[in-house]
Amino acid sequence: MQAALSATPGVLTVELDPSAILSTRPPEPLSRDNAELLAGPIADDLRRIIGDEVVDAGLIFPAALYDLTEILRPGLPMVEALLDIYRGSLRGGAFTPQLLALGSSGGRFPESAIAPARRPGSGPLLVIPFALVAPGPQLEPLRSKLEQVLLEKGRAGLPTDRALRQLMGVEPVHLSYATFHDLSALLKVQLEHAEFSGLWQLLEGALYRPDQIERVQLETGHQFFGTGGAVWTPWLTYDDWAVRHQANDRDAEAGYAQWMQIQRQYMAGLNSHGVEVHVVEPQPGVEADDPEVALGVAQAHALNETTSWLRQTVTQNTEAGPVSIVSLTEQASPLLGPIAYTALVQAEDGSLIELSHDYPVRESGIADVQAEWEGRAKEHGATYHLERPGVITASGQPARLQPWLEFGGSA
C-alpha cells in the first residue's frame, strides 16, 4: 500500500526596487500557457540546487506573485491547497511525479482560495510559492536537503530571471529560493528591527505553536494572548489609561494616542497574516499571573466577532424623561483620526439620560457608531448633533473624556 502523499514547501523570492511598488499592484497571474513557460526554468533551478533526485517528486506552483502576509498564515493554507490540487490531479490513481503550473483562464485563477490578493504597495519582497509532493517516506530526504541547501545555494538562474521579466513584466533586483522557515526568519529580523518583537512572537506562535499560549505584555500596557491561531487583546479606554497613569488631559492625549497607535499596528499586523483578533472588554482578571487563567478571562469577555465597537457607559438614568437631544462628539487625534465617540443623551428639560464613550475597534466601527446613535435619535424623534471639534475633548485629573458642548450640529 502506497504511503500518503506529503508536501514540503518553498518559495522563489522576487525582490523589487521599493520605489517601483509604492502605488502599483503586483502583476496579474500568468495564463496557463505562460505558466508552463515559467515552469521549465524553475524546475531546472531546483534540479541544479537540490540534485537529480528532485525529479522523483512532483512539483506544483501557482504562476503568481504573493506578499509574505499571504504565505505565512496559521495552518499554512497555501501548502495544504497545493497538496490538495496535486492529489486531485491524480484522479485517485497512484502517485506520479509531474510538473503542475497553475495559471489563470479567462482572467480567473483556477483556485479562488489561493488567488493572489494583489494589494497596492505589496512588496518589495514578493514570492512564488511551490511545493514538492511525494509519499511521506520518499519526501523526507528531500525535505532535509531543502532545508540544508536552498538558502545557501538557492540563487535563481538567468533563464528564470529572463522569464519573469518577459512574462510578468517585473524588474527583479534579486531572485533566490528559500524555505518557509527561511521566510519566517526574515520576517522575524524585519519585525525585531522595527521594534515589534512581540508581534513576531504572536505570529510565530500562530504559525508553529498553535497549541501553546503566547502571552505578550508591552511596557506601554498592551496585552495579547495567542493560541489556536487567534489572538485576544484587552482594549484600554482613554479614561482607564489616564487613571492608570494619573495623567492630565494634555499628557493623556499624547500618551493614549501612542497606546492606540501601537494597538492598531499590532491588530493590523496580525490581521494581515490571517490571525483573527478578538477585542476584550477590560477586566482585572486579564492581568493574572497564570497565563491560562488570564486567557480564560479574556476569552470570556471578548466582544462578539460582529461587534465593531466597545462601549463604556459612564452614566445612565432610565427614569429620566423622553429623549430630546442626542449629541455625538467625535474624539479625534490629528495623527490617528477618530479614536472614540462620546454620546450625550438629554431629556427636554436638559437632564442627563446617558453619557457613553464608544470606541471603534474595527474599521467599520466609525460608521457603525454614528449610525447607531443617529438611529436612536430618529427612533425617539430627538434632535441629533454630530460634533467634530478635531481634537480630544477631556478634562480633570486624571483626565476623562467629555462631550463637546458648543453645539454646531455638523450632522
Q: Do the Cβ atoms of 127 and 183 come closer than 8 Å?
A: yes
Alpha helices in 14-126 (DSSP H): 32-50, 68-71, 77-89
Task: Judge whether 332 lies within some domain.
Answer: yes
CA dist., res. 138 & res. 135, Å (int): 5
Q: What are the Cα distances from residue 134, in Å, to 44, 139, 143, 185?
A: 18, 5, 11, 26
End-to-end CA distance of the chain: 72
State whether 34 and 133 are in the same domain. yes
Task: Assess if residue 205 is contained within a domain.
Answer: yes
Same domain, 146 and 276: no
Mark whether 337 and 268 lie in a shared domain.
no
Dihedral of CA atoms 146, 10, 207, 272 in degrees, nearest 10, equals 160
pLDDT at position 160, please?
98
Residue 407 included in any domain? no
- Does some domain include residue 272? yes
DSSP 8-state code for residue 27: P
Q: What is the pLDDT of residue 382?
A: 95
Q: Are residues 54 and 178 in the same domain?
A: yes
179 and 100 in a common domain:
yes
Both 66 and 183 in a single domain?
yes
Residues 285 and 340 in one domain: no
Residue ranges of the chain whose pLDDT lies below 70: 1-2, 22-23, 407-411
At a CB cut-off of 8 Å and minimum separation 6, what does 120 contact? 23, 24, 25
5: which strand partners?
135
Q: Is the dihedral of CA 379, 385, 390, 391 positive or negative?
A: negative
**Using a CB cutoff of 8 Å and minimum separation of 24, what contacts does 200-206 make?**
201/226, 202/226, 202/231, 202/266, 202/270, 202/275, 203/72, 203/269, 203/270, 203/273, 203/275, 206/74, 206/230, 206/231, 206/270, 206/273, 206/275
CA atoms of 194 and 201, how far apart (whole Å): 14
pLDDT of residue 1: 52
Q: Are residues 355 and 214 in the same domain?
A: no
Instruction: Return the percentage of the chain with pLDDT > 70, whole number.
Output: 98
Q: Which of residues 300, 324, 339 is at a domain's end?
A: 300
* Together in a domain, 323 and 212: no
Same domain (yes/no): 288, 346: no
Choose the final residue of a domain: 280, 300, 320: 300
Tell me if 384 is assigned to some domain.
yes
**Alpha helices in 178-328, H assignment, sequence order:** 180-193, 197-208, 238-245, 249-272, 291-300
Beta bridge mates, 356? 313, 343
Q: Are residues 45 and 173 in the same domain?
A: yes
Q: Locate 395 and state its grid cell.
A: 478634562
Domain membership flag for residue 410: no
DSSP code of residue 287: G
Task: Give the pairing of strands 383-387 and 323-333.
Answer: parallel
Residue 24 and residue 131 in one domain = yes
Last residue of a domain, one of 132, 160, 191: 191
Q: Within a 13 Å sphere around the CA of 166, how many CA atoms are in the beta-carbon half?
A: 11
Phi, psi (rounded to 5 degrees) for 340: -165, 165
* Residue ranges making up the domain that contains 370: 309-401
Query: The C-alpha cell of 83 is what?
Result: 497538496
Number of domains comprising the chain: 3
Q: Are 392 and 333 in contact (CB under 8 A)?
A: yes
In a domain, 406, yes or no: no
